[in-house]
Amino acid sequence: MVRERETPKQQQQVSYTVEQLVAVNPYNPDILPDLENYVNEQVSSQTYSLDANLCLLRLYQFEPERMSTQIVARILVKACLSSSLYLFRIMYQLVSRLGYVIPNASFSFFPPAFLQALMAMPAPDFSLCLFLIPERVQMEEQFKTLIVLSHYLETGRFRQFWDEAAKNRHIVEAVPGFEQAIQTYAIHVLSLTYQKIPRPVLAEAINIEGLSLDKFLEHQAANSGWILEKGHGRGQLIVLPRNEFNHPELKKSAADSVPLEHITRIFPILG
């Protein structure tokens, strides 16, 4: 009896990562379970992949009967935490509350920050995901809540955001790190907007008060360069680290990096 020669690795299966599956064949319905598992992995590991999540939402469009509203809700929360928040609109809301810049005031908003924020505007992940979700699904209560939360963040209405989030703990607590991520984002926005910030404004934005806020401020002063000016209670001011947004004079001029003669060379080309 002649025995067939077995070729090595004949039955070996190649293992692909989710990112590779999305890149090779994003419209293959067989990868849908892998993408759903990957969403849960993003939630537990506090990571994020917009491309994989958009791919899953597109597959749901082709096979709506396989759609998991729980997975879709988690995708929207992750998108909300990532970069769907428009800094330009938030800054506009903040300055509109002030009405105008008061000379020699204890805190100031610098108009040049508008242009910088517009240039640095993050990608609207939340909207990108929402466009791929059927309207009938968006009308479900949990999705309407997420849309409202996203709107509050986009318009800088942090107090309303925290109030609404408190009414829907079951939604926001489904994703670990949600509260911390929003607090980090709020601090980032404030650092672009203020040189000095009143304690009540900070407390409202990050939803921390009392002794917890005292400990938070002490930690930031020790680790992030914050300076706590003398004062007590609501009258206390916090000096935020200098950056090119709250101190526009730190912004490197384009003239320092691009010589004028280099610019004039393109004028003949432009006609």
The backbone torsions φ and ψ at residue 51, rounded to the nearest 5 degrees and listed phi first, read: -60, -45
Q: What is the pLDDT of residue 236?
A: 86
CA atoms within a 13 Å half-sphere pointing along the CA-CB vector of 267: 6
Q: What is the pLDDT of residue 216?
A: 94
Q: Does the global pTM surpass 0.75?
A: no
Give, for 101, the enclosing helix (H) or strand (E): none
Measured CA to CA, the distance from residue 202 to residue 50 in angstroms comes to 30
Measured CA to CA, the distance from residue 208 to residue 193 in angstroms comes to 19
The backbone torsions φ and ψ at residue 79, rounded to the nearest 5 degrees and listed phi first, read: -65, -40
Cβ atoms of 51 and 38 closer than 8 Å: no
Per-residue pLDDT of the chain (271 residues; tens, 9 = 90+): 444 444 444 434 556 789 898 998 899 999 999 999 999 999 999 888 989 999 999 999 999 999 999 999 999 888 887 743 444 344 434 444 433 333 333 333 333 333 333 333 344 788 888 889 999 989 999 899 988 988 888 878 899 999 999 999 887 788 888 888 889 889 988 888 888 999 999 999 999 999 999 999 999 999 999 999 876 666 789 999 988 877 777 776 544 555 666 556 665 665 5
Question: What is 8-189's CATH superfamily?
Answer: ARM repeat; domain 1 (1.25.40.250)
**Domain ranges within the chain, ordered by starting residue:** 8-189
Measured CA to CA, the distance from residue 123 to residue 270 in angstroms comes to 31
Q: What is the pLDDT of residue 256?
A: 53
Q: What is the pLDDT of residue 175?
A: 84
